[in-house]
């Protein structure tokens, strides 16, 4: 039996009924209203700050998490919709000391300026690679099309997305064909 993730004492959710979730492989119980946005529960109650609050309207992608392996915008998903499903946040892909391959690709390419959009970029690429381990550059572009980066770091983000393909498959990026190693601006 796994130990539930504790809720911060004194949080506003403390007086509400518990909702059981499975997040990053752990069971947790969060006292919160069923219609609270999943993003707020992750950040405020579970202290998982990988997903970011950007637009709050499901449009920018900063809050992206995986629900049963599929990219989802947690700012517009009520927490009750995640009951009985596997939620994965950026923290679930790896750690600072041991980043997952998709995270490592973004680190290698230094694909950030302010970094605020990167959670969404990483999680969106991860979701694509889970269902399609060898996407084309165009498929990666299509997938990231609705993730906004206000800093204009798109070239580096595409380089990182392309690098993530071989890394996640356990191959050396150097073994990839040249056209898959460098994103075109
Ligand atoms: S904060 Fe969720 S899509 Fe922008
Ligand atoms: S790096 Fe700043 S929003 Fe993308």
- pLDDT tens sequence across 88-130: 999 999 999 999 999 999 999 999 999 999 999 999 999 999 9
Same structural domain, 17 and 80: yes
pLDDT of residue 172: 80
pTM for the whole structure: 0.87
Cα separation of 59 and 143, whole Å?
Answer: 14
Split into its structural domains, the chain has a count of 2
150 CA distance to ligand 2 centroid (A)?
5
pLDDT of residue 176: 62
The answer to whether position 7 is within a domain reads no
Domain interval for residue 81: 12-92
The answer to whether position 2 is within a domain reads no
- State if residue 75 touches ligand 1 by the CB under 6 angstroms criterion: yes
Per-residue pLDDT of the chain (185 residues; tens, 9 = 90+): 444 455 555 555 445 569 999 999 999 999 999 999 999 999 999 999 999 999 999 999 999 999 999 999 999 999 999 999 999 999 999 999 999 999 999 999 999 999 999 999 999 999 999 999 999 999 999 999 999 999 999 999 999 999 999 999 998 877 665 444 555 44
Cα separation of 104 and 53, whole Å?
Answer: 23
The answer to whether position 169 is within a domain reads yes
CATH number (domain holding residue 66): 3.10.20.30
Q: Which ligand is nearest to the CA of 43?
A: 1
Q: Which ligand is nearest to the CA of 64?
A: 1
The answer to whether position 40 is within a domain reads yes
Same structural domain, 105 and 176: yes
Cα separation of 134 and 39, whole Å?
Answer: 30
Same structural domain, 82 and 117: no
- State if residue 146 touches ligand 1 by the CB under 6 angstroms criterion: no
Place of tokens 């992750």: 42
Report whether 65 contacts 51 (CB < 8 A). Answer: yes
Q: Which ligand is nearest to the CA of 115?
A: 2
The answer to whether position 85 is within a domain reads yes
pLDDT of residue 173: 79
Mutual orientation of helices 137-144 and 118-131 as an angle, nearest 10°? 130
Six-digit token pair at 117?
Answer: 């959009």
Question: Coil, strand or helix: which one is 63?
Answer: coil
pLDDT of residue 178: 46
Domain boundary among 69, 92, 115: 92
Same structural domain, 42 and 107: no
DSSP for 108-170 reads HTT--SS-TTHHHHHHHHHHHHHH-SS--HHHHHHHHTT---TT--HHHHHHHHHHHHHHHTT
The answer to whether position 75 is within a domain reads yes
**Ligand 1 atom showing the smallest separation from residue 148 Cα:** 4
pLDDT of residue 3: 47
Helix (H) or strand (E) holding 28: strand 26-31
CA quadruple 5, 128, 58, 147: dihedral, nearest 10: 120
128 CA distance to ligand 1 centroid (A)?
18
Strand 86-88 versus strand 18-23 pairing type: parallel
pLDDT of residue 12: 52
CATH number (domain holding residue 176): 1.10.150.120
Report whether 121 contacts 161 (CB < 8 A). Answer: yes
For ligand 1, pick from 37, 42, 50, 61 the residue to mutate: most ligand atoms within 8 Å of CB.
Answer: 61
The answer to whether position 3 is within a domain reads no
pLDDT of residue 1: 42
Q: How many CA atoms lie within 13 A of 104 on its CB side?
A: 16
Six-digit token pair at 88?
Answer: 């994965």
């Amino acid at each position: 039996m796994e130990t539930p993730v504790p809720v911060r004492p004194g949080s506003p959710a403390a007086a509400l009924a518990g909702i059981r979730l499975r997040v990053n492989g752990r069971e947790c119980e969060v006292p919160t209203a069923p219609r609270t946005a999943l993003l707020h529960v992750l950040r405020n109650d579970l202290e998982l700050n990988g997903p970011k609050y950007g637009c709050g309207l499901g449009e920018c992608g900063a809050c992206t998490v995986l629900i049963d392996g599929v990219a989802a915008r947690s700012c517009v998903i009520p927490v009750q919709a995640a009951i009985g499903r596997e939620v994965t946040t950026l923290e679930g892909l790896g750690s600072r000391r041991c980043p997952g391959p998709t995270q490592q690709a973004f680190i290698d390419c230094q694909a950030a300026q302010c970094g605020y959009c990167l959670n969404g970029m990483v999680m969106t690429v991860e979701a694509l690679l889970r269902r399609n381990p060898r996407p084309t550059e165009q498929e990666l572009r299509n997938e990231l099309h609705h993730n906004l980066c206000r800093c204009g770091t798109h070239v580096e983000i595409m380089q990182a997305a392309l690098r993530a393909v071989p890394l996640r498959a356990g191959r050396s990026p150097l073994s990839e064909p040249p056209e898959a190693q460098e994103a075109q601006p």
